[in-house]
């Protein structure tokens, strides 16, 4: 059963595809995932603002939903979006849409021609991190393979050196889901809210230095689905 073993990235994709096939929309899976991650974060204790750092895929969508859920619960949550919101697609785009109407603070960080943030942008982002109690890593998901590119490598290093507590959404950005090896700069999380099951890479010696404490979050389906 899923609850007794770890999954590969391909098995995770299959799980999502089968869930959608039987009639559970992807946005519902995203809501369930974000709810579990939010519950874990609150159980760890929140004593100040939360900065949610997002990429552009479904991992970012989880972060957008978390921002809405945290705001609804009375917490101060801001979104740092690494890219252009007009490029968001699918469920991530759907999850992003309500943030403006709800006046949830969103800062969009656009990069230079090489995909990098400027020194001035990095300095500003660093100062924003320093005011947070928690940072939420919702940048890169299980599908990440190959070297970590900018601006993610830059922001991962900022987050690690910020001294803030970090919650990783599904897995720490920069960690290979299957091998448990860093693909470049990799988040060192305080805790990881991982969906459906542990990822195979989490069982590799040394991976816990990146994941911190791992909590498996249900997406609302039986464990053996």
For 132-187, how does the pLDDT look when each residue is reduced to its tens digit (9 = 90+)? 999 999 999 988 988 999 999 999 999 999 999 999 999 999 999 999 999 999 99
Domain residue spans of the chain: 2-217
Give the model's pLDDT for residue 225: 67
The span from the CA of 216 to the CA of 202, in Å, is 12
Residue 2's pLDDT band (cuts 50, 70, 90) = very low
CATH number given to 2-217 = 3.40.50.10260
Q: Which of 148, 188, 150, 182 is nearest to 167 (CA)?
A: 188
Distance of alpha carbon 123 from the chain centroid: 22
Mean of pLDDT over the chain:
93
């Amino acid at each position: 059963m899923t609850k007794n073993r770890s999954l590969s990235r391909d098995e995770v994709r299959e799980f999502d595809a089968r869930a959608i096939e039987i009639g559970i929309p992807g946005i519902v899976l995203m809501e369930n995932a974000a709810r579990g991650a939010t519950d874990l974060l609150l159980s760890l204790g929140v004593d100040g603002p939360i900065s949610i750092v997002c990429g552009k895929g479904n991992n970012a969508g989880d972060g957008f939903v978390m921002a809405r859920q945290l705001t609804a619960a009375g917490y101060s949550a801001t979104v740092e979006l690494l890219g252009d919101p007009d490029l968001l697609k699918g469920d991530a785009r759907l999850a992003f849409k309500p943030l403006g109407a709800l006046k949830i603070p969103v800062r969009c960080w656009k990069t230079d021609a090489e995909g990098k943030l400027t020194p001035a942008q990095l300095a500003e982002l660093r100062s924003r991190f320093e005011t947070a109690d928690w940072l939420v890593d919702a940048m890169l998901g299980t599908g990440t393979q190959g070297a970590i590119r900018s601006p993610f490598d830059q922001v991962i290093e900022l987050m690690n050196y910020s001294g803030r507590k970090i919650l990783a959404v599904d897995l720490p950005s920069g960690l290979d889901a299957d091998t448990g090896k860093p693909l470049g700069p990799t988040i060192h999380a305080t805790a990881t809210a991982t969906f459906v099951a542990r990822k195979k890479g989490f069982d590799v010696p040394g991976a816990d230095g990146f994941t911190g404490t791992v909590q498996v979050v249900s997406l609302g389906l039986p464990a053996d689905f």
